[in-house]
Chain A
């Protein structure tokens, strides 16, 4: 099997037949040496066929093993998270492939202000028009970076889009019928934190932290081949990371006692930190998190605002998706900074608005 991600971004330039010896990005997957294919090899289609056969043969015992209540509930939540997120991931991937293949790079240069400091809030606000959850925004932000959008602006878009689009804000209003100010607070805090992260990246971010989401260049291939190649690659790649996130979310949901929450809600500081941690661990889709927040009635409104701002910006599933799209080195720096700013920004917004 081949690593699904190329190690070096420059795809259009002729490269030697052998992979480069000195890998500039030690964390990046190293391409395998070209393999001789004139004999019998365990190729991935063969492995896949064998795996499918084995699974069909052992499905009886497997069902038996999964019939204990805890494993059953784990499997249900795991399948549910994947089935729920996959359609949005596919739509985001289609949009990002269309951006990458059919929209010329000059469009973004014209649409966004030239000064990065101005491009950040414009891109952040543009997030309002992407009607989807966070699974869709990661591939779209990756396509924006590939199309030459300044990373600071693309990151502001990545963070704001899942939280401030009309669908999510409507869901928030429905979930909190008695607290309309919470909708405003969610919009303001999410936009604030997204712009702050964009500006922060612009000041301290270094290009080599961001492993550009390299793709095969589209030169020499028809647009159709490039489009479907991009869809195939992104679904396979991001889908794998989605499974990692779903595993974590299912484990938390099936194993953590809910009574812990009651203990945490008593202290205001602990409540904020607990709901921030819960937002990260639960990895709920941003279109659904308002209803979960509404159900956490023991917590203060500010703590629930933290939950609503942190969740769409950083959670286990998103971390896995971001690591897949931009590299682990990026995700390891970006995630803690996002978490800290999101908590701070929503507590401040909560103090002013709620």
Chain B
């Protein structure tokens, strides 16, 4: 890849990072806190592309200086005369950068969903403590918050409350419907599901990966995750309605 092509790839890559960081696209892949770094590095990549072209042009105008003629030869093939391209039989590894570029710009895959959730065990872990719940009916709770209160606090703080939980649907091998949120620490590679099993007035037809806002009440019934044996609480559903995918599809409460 000669330097003009490299500048083009750097520019596109920088633009893709800026686009992902400026919209909510990046939240499908990494934690929210990475946004400033994404924007800065996207800008750096674009500046690098522009500086590459700028020095190419300057170089073109001045022509090679005596010292520079040394560099035109094997020691730095990337620094060959502008516009000239070495037709090397070797595939330069830099071409691989086009793969994430295409994946990010053209495909923009969705956040991890039911496929990953069913394949990995629940990541529920004992919380450091329980904050007092605000008043309100129904009470909005995250999947992680409901699950840890139901399991490790035995639902004490949930007694007599109507709760409202938002997550996506995943169906276990035996057909048990789960409401799931993937919990994330850094990027989707370390995302792990936290699951709530649904009982009561569950909608008759559930499609995996549909986002639902479920209203219901605590029930002491619990089960274990078939994958890792982790605890999975039940939620007695009274109503469920489909909602659009939230801006941040992951639960990041463990980052705070």
| Residues on A facing B (Cβ under 8 Å) | 1-4, 6-8, 10-17, 19-20, 29-35, 37, 41-45, 47-48, 51, 55-56, 59, 62-63, 66, 69-70, 72-73, 75-84, 86-88, 90-91, 94, 177, 214-217, 219-221, 224-225, 228-229, 231-233, 235-237, 239-241, 243-244, 246-247, 249-250, 253-254, 257-259, 261-262, 282-285, 287-289, 291-292, 294-295, 297-298, 324
Check A81/B228 contact, CB under 8 A, given A6-B77, A11-B71, A32-B88: no
Chain B CB within 10 Å — which of A59, A87, A221, A289 has the most? Answer: A87
Please determine whether A244 and B189 come into contact, CB atoms closer than 8 angstroms: no
Please determine whether B104 and A48 come into contact, CB atoms closer than 8 angstroms: no
* A158 vs chain B, min Cβ distance (A): 20
Check A10/B75 contact, CB under 8 A, given A4-B94, A228-B48: yes
- Nearest A residue to B52 by beta-carbon distance? A232
Q: What 5 A-B pairs come out closest when comparing CB atoms?
A: A220-B67, A288-B186, A240-B93, A80-B188, A69-B115
Chain B residues with CB under 8 A of A30 = 90
Interface string of B13-55 (1 = CB under 8 A from A): 1000100100000101110001001101100110011011001
* B69 vs chain A, min Cβ distance (A): 8
What secondary structure prevails in chain A residues at the interface with B? helix
What secondary structure prevails in chain B residues at the interface with A? helix
Within 8 A of A (CB), among B76-90: 76-80, 83-90
| A76 partner, pick from B5, B55, B111, B228, beta carbons under 8 A | B111
Chain B CB within 10 Å — which of A13, A80, A219, A243 has the most? Answer: A80
Please determine whether A72 and B109 come into contact, CB atoms closer than 8 angstroms: yes
Check A295/B74 contact, CB under 8 A, given A1-B1, A1-B91: no
Please determine whether A237 and B93 come into contact, CB atoms closer than 8 angstroms: yes
Please determine whether B93 and A291 come into contact, CB atoms closer than 8 angstroms: no
Check A31/B74 contact, CB under 8 A, given A253-B189, A258-B120, A295-B123: yes
Within 8 A of A (CB), among B173-198: 185-190, 192
The total of interchain contacts (Cβ-Cβ below 8 angstroms) comes to 304
Distance of A77 Cα from B3 Cα, bound (Å): 30
Chain A residues with CB under 8 A of B40 = 87
Distance of A332 Cα from B222 Cα, bound (Å): 50
Chain A CB within 10 Å — which of B120, B123, B189 has the most? Answer: B189
Chain B residues with CB under 8 A of A47 = 5
Chain B residues with CB under 8 A of A33 = 86
**23 interchain pairs, CB-CB under 8 A:** A2-B77, A2-B80, A15-B70, A32-B87, A32-B88, A45-B8, A47-B5, A66-B109, A72-B109, A79-B109, A82-B100, A91-B41, A216-B71, A225-B55, A232-B51, A235-B10, A236-B6, A236-B10, A244-B93, A288-B186, A288-B189, A292-B190, A295-B123
* B74 vs chain A, min Cβ distance (A): 4
Distance of A76 Cα from B108 Cα, bound (Å): 8
Please determine whether A29 and B20 come into contact, CB atoms closer than 8 angstroms: no
Please determine whether A1 and B107 come into contact, CB atoms closer than 8 angstroms: no
Distance of A231 Cα from B186 Cα, bound (Å): 26
Please determine whether A32 and B186 come into contact, CB atoms closer than 8 angstroms: no
Distance of A59 Cα from B189 Cα, bound (Å): 25
Please determine whether B74 and A243 come into contact, CB atoms closer than 8 angstroms: no
Please determine whether A77 and B188 come into contact, CB atoms closer than 8 angstroms: yes
* A284 vs chain B, min Cβ distance (A): 6
Please determine whether A29 and B90 come into contact, CB atoms closer than 8 angstroms: yes
Chain A residues with CB under 8 A of B113 = 69, 72-73
Assess whether B68 is interfacial by the CB under 8 Å rule: yes
Chain B residues with CB under 8 A of A262 = 228-229
* B31 vs chain A, min Cβ distance (A): 8
Distance of A229 Cα from B28 Cα, bound (Å): 33
Please determine whether B227 and A258 come into contact, CB atoms closer than 8 angstroms: yes
Distance of A41 Cα from B86 Cα, bound (Å): 10
- Nearest A residue to B69 by beta-carbon distance? A14
Assess whether B9 is interfacial by the CB under 8 Å rule: yes
* A262 vs chain B, min Cβ distance (A): 6
| A1 partner, pick from B8, B92, B99, B227, beta carbons under 8 A | B92
Please determine whether B100 and A79 come into contact, CB atoms closer than 8 angstroms: yes
Chain A residues with CB under 8 A of B17 = 83, 86-87
Distance of A235 Cα from B29 Cα, bound (Å): 21
Chain B residues with CB under 8 A of A233 = 78
Please determine whether A236 and B1 come into contact, CB atoms closer than 8 angstroms: yes
Please determine whether A76 and B112 come into contact, CB atoms closer than 8 angstroms: yes
Distance of A19 Cα from B77 Cα, bound (Å): 11
| B74 partner, pick from A6, A232, A244, A283, beta carbons under 8 A | A6
Chain B residues with CB under 8 A of A217 = 70-71, 75
